[in-house]
Amino acid sequence: MSEKIDPALPKVELHLHFEGAAPPAFIRGLAKEKHIDIAKIFTPDGGYAYRDFWHFLEVYEAACTTLQSPEDFRRLTLAVLEDRAKDGVVYAETFLSPDFCGVGDVTAWREYLLAIEEAALEAQKTMGITLKGIVTAIRHFGPDQSRATALCAAETKSDFLTGFGLAGDEKQFHPKDFTWAFDCAREAGLRLTAHAGEWGGPESVRDALDHLKVERIGHGVRAIEDLALVDQLAEQGTVLEVCPGSNVFLGVYPSFDKHPIDRLREREVKVTISTDDPPFFRTTLTQEYETLARAFGWTEDDFRAINRDAANAAFCDEATRARILQILEGRA
């Protein structure tokens, strides 16, 4: 019998797609206000409807058509952070895409970013949750667009906008097609992460490390298929942003007990726990913890250690990191 996990346990979440965290009712409300017909992306019970990962990406982009202004993103920020705060999240990082915020135009992007940042500061005061942004290029939009996205990120690096990443369809293009964007972001002082090892095998994780020189990997779980790579990740301290419920929901693994997170951790890889796109995968961070506790016998002490690793891997300034570590230890 596994230990019951207190939902109020303070948590750090590093891998969260911003639009993917939008409550379906919020998106439905925006669609109604703007007379956009996206009824087909919802199930009869009001959730998001899709068949598989590739269809999920299409539905995701259809949901994004309702988000048309900085004001929409201000409201989205408050809705998303309210849900995270209910889950005990005290610090979150979220993937933001200029492609969905002003279609890659830097002047428009600045306005969207300002609205998100202002709402995040309001949430910090009222809900006690801190948010940082990671600009994310979308792989299937191609390398040319990734360059415009990287320039948007480089121009707007700040205490709030601290990272650069790569999401989208892992089967399209090669990491080396995105080296210009990652070099640009690195030169601007942004911290780097990329999705790999979810739909691609261990070679995709090696390619992300070699070509993009990232310090964290989104997912990365299929590294388990190459134990030399697992040892390399452990030795160099590469942090995996693991989203077990997302992997099970999308069929990367058939069940939690077949998920490699426990084996990766046993081999001393730094793993962290996130929800990816929680309403799409019908999960919450508390639910992820409870399912992991049941599958692997993890206790609150395991989750405390994982949250400390996540705080240490956060793309934030040192004052924020110290404050979050204090909250995790119950000293703030």
Q: Where along the sequence are the contacts to Zn ion (CB under 5 A)? A: 276
Sequence-distant (6+) residues with CB within 8 A of 284 are 83, 87, 275, 278
Q: How far is the CB of 318 from ligand HPA (least distance, A)?
A: 30
CB closer to ligand HPA, 67 vs 167? 167
Q: How far is the CB of 242 from ligand HPA (least distance, A)?
A: 12
Q: Answer yes or no whether residue 168 interacts with ligand HPA by CB under 6 A.
A: yes
The SS3 call for residue 182 is: helix
Q: How far is CA 153 from the centre of its chain?
A: 17
Q: Which of 13, 72, 99, 276 binds ligand HPA (CB under 6 A)?
A: 276
Q: How far is the CB of 60 from ligand HPA (least distance, A)?
A: 5
- Cα(63)–Cα(311) distance, integer angstroms: 31
Q: Which two tokens stand for residue 179?
A: 């080296």
Out of 198, 203, 225, 266, the active site residue is: 198
CB closer to ligand HPA, 275 vs 286? 275
Interface map 232-251 toward ligand HPA (x if CB under 6 A)? --------------x-----
When CB distances are held under 5 to 8 angstroms depending on the partner's kind, the choice from ligand HPA, Zn ion, none that residue 20 binds is ligand HPA
Asked if 288 contacts 33 with a C-beta cutoff of 8 angstroms, the reply is: no
Q: Which two tokens stand for residue 64?
A: 């994004």
Q: Which two tokens stand for residue 193?
A: 């992460």
Asked if 273 contacts 242 with a C-beta cutoff of 8 angstroms, the reply is: yes
Asked if 134 contacts 164 with a C-beta cutoff of 8 angstroms, the reply is: yes
CB closer to Zn ion, 31 vs 64? 64
- Rg for the chain, CA atoms, rounded: 18
Q: How far is the CB of 326 from ligand HPA (least distance, A)?
A: 31
Asked if 42 contacts 28 with a C-beta cutoff of 8 angstroms, the reply is: yes
Q: How far is the CB of 20 from Zn ion (least distance, A)?
A: 8
Dihedral sign (CA 172, 140, 42, 256): positive
Q: Position of tokens 């990491």?
A: 175
Interface map 68-97 toward ligand HPA (x if CB under 6 A)? ------------------------------
Q: Answer yes or no whether residue 216 interacts with ligand HPA by CB under 6 A.
A: no
Q: Which of 50, 60, 112, 182 binds ligand HPA (CB under 6 A)?
A: 60
The SS3 call for residue 194 is: strand
Q: Which of 87, 99, 117, 277 binds ligand HPA (CB under 6 A)?
A: 277
- Say whether 3 is catalytic: no
When CB distances are held under 5 to 8 angstroms depending on the partner's kind, the choice from Zn ion, ligand HPA, none that residue 117 binds is none
Q: Which of 12, 120, 134, 167 binds ligand HPA (CB under 6 A)?
A: 167
Asked if 179 contacts 151 with a C-beta cutoff of 8 angstroms, the reply is: no
- Cα(146)–Cα(138) distance, integer angstroms: 7
- Cα(56)–Cα(32) distance, integer angstroms: 21
Q: Answer yes or no whether residue 195 interacts with ligand HPA by CB under 6 A.
A: yes
When CB distances are held under 5 to 8 angstroms depending on the partner's kind, the choice from Zn ion, ligand HPA, none that residue 60 binds is ligand HPA
Supply the residues annotated as catalytic: 198
Residues at the contact surface with ligand HPA, assessed by CB under 6 A: 17, 20, 60, 167-168, 195, 246, 276-277
